[in-house]
Amino acid sequence: MVERLLTPEEAAERLAVTPGSIRVWLRQGKLKGVRAGRLWRIRERDLEAFLDPTLRALESAPDDDEPLSEEDEKAIAEAERAIAQGRTKSWEQVKREMRP
């Protein structure tokens, strides 16, 4: 099954922005697209990734097939327990404590 490609106008309608905004984001590389001559096309999955910052970050993250070490797993488990128990500090508090 071939994925449907959207025109900048169709993508703009879905995002409630102007086609010009879509073209700017395409030129800046903020939105992935395919260019054929002067025509831009956007894959639906690329438009969805553009809208979801988490998905964007995961797609641009390097592949990591290496399993976590036992030490890393313990550190993650301890951090999760601290969060669950409310034993965390705000970023502002951490910055204050780091100042000389």
At 21-40, the pLDDT tens digits run 999 999 999 899 998 888 99
First to last CA, the chain: 60
Instruction: Report how far residue 30's alpha carbon sits from residue 50's, in angstroms, rounded to the nearest whole number.
Output: 7
What is the side-by-side order of every strand in the sheet holding 34-36? 5-6, 39-43, 34-36
Angle subtended at Cα 82 by Cα 79 and Cα 87, rounded to the nearest 5 degrees: 135
pLDDT value for 63: 65
Kindly tell me if the per-residue pLDDT of 53 is higher than 80.
no
State how far the Cα of 84 lies from the Cα of 27, in Å rounded to an integer: 43
Cα(12)–Cα(23) distance, integer angstroms: 9
Kindly report which listed range (1-10, 53-62, 65-74) carries the lowest average pLDDT score.
53-62
Percentage of residues of the chain with pLDDT beyond 70: 87
Quick check: 60 pLDDT over 90?
A: no
What's residue 31's pLDDT? 92
Cβ pair 5, 43 in contact under 8 A:
yes
